[in-house]
Amino acid sequence: MNQTDYGRQGDDYIVSPEQKALYQEHGYITLRNVLTGEELNDIEQEFDHFISGSVPDMGRDFCDMSGPYDRKFEDFALVNAMLPTKYEPALQGNIYEKLSASIAKQLIGDDATLDYDQFLAKRPARPDAKFTLHQDLGYWPTGTPDTITATCSLAVDDANSENGCLYVIPGSHQQGLRVHKPVHGKDRESSHILGVALLDGETLVELPLNKGDITVHNELILHGSGGNRSETSWRRTYITAFRSKACVEFERQIGFTHSHNDKVNWATHLGALK
């Protein structure tokens, strides 16, 4: 294939062999100019409807991902809306969902299935809007047929050091799953947030993005993000995560949907929480 055969092709985004190799080696890749400004305008309207707290009956699916569940909305720093297509079915099949599905199928297999989606927004002037260093697999049940995952994160705004862009430890996915501990309180009932400590010798690499770019990372890469030090700029991110069909079916069988309202027996289906 010619170089022009890679990148955006209608509702698909064709990943190059070099990008696939980097994904395997480093645990993540960055893809540029995946969505147009016009396509982002349509997404932003729905995004802001959720992030403003205008969608009713979300329970814990609308929360602050940098604080405890009982934090009041006006005090949220990292505004989180889980499963937006569940609460607004008209969002299903949007252009970003199609493009990220195309990418995931090329990276993890043709049966890549949308497992969950998520809207995240860091308010301006909130240096506490941090996403603790973690591995995604640390949040999820064990015993699945496989763990392979491709999580796509769309930059709805430019993301940089000032407003808290994603950072990763390249290659850390090759070292296995670490023990994760609750950041607030003693268990996941008081806060959904889990984290791990940065070890000596580990270096964080920031992944700045332009609006419309995407990062893709796997289930074991260590990653997080800093707070938002910008006085005026939001940092908004639209996440879609894909796993194998068998994995998603297993999760649903045990009552796990990635909703913060799930009632899962963590004593039976324990992740890396200790």
- Give me the mean pLDDT over the 71-82 stretch: 96
Beta-sheet pairing, 112-122 with 78-82: antiparallel
Please state the CATH superfamily assignment of the domain spanning residues 17-253 in this structure.
Answer: q2cbj1_9rhob like domain (2.60.120.620)
- Give me the mean pLDDT over the 94-122 stretch: 98
Interaxial angle between packed helices 95-108 and 17-26, expressed in degrees from 0 to 180 and rounded to the nearest 10: 80
Quote the pLDDT of residue 170: 97
Out of 8-22, 171-185, 199-213, pick the least confident.
171-185
CA dihedral (211, 214, 215, 219) positive or negative: positive
Pick from 241, 243, 247, 132: which is nearest to 180 by CA?
Answer: 132
Taking only the tens place, the pLDDT of each residue in 137-150 is 999 998 999 999 99
CB 273 within 8 A of CB 266: yes
Write down the pTM of the prediction. 0.94
What angle (nearest 5°) sits at the alpha carbon of residue 254, between those of residues 251 and 255? 85
Quote the pLDDT of residue 5: 86
Quote the pLDDT of residue 245: 98
Please report which helix (H) or strand (E) contains residue 150, including its range.
Answer: strand 149-155
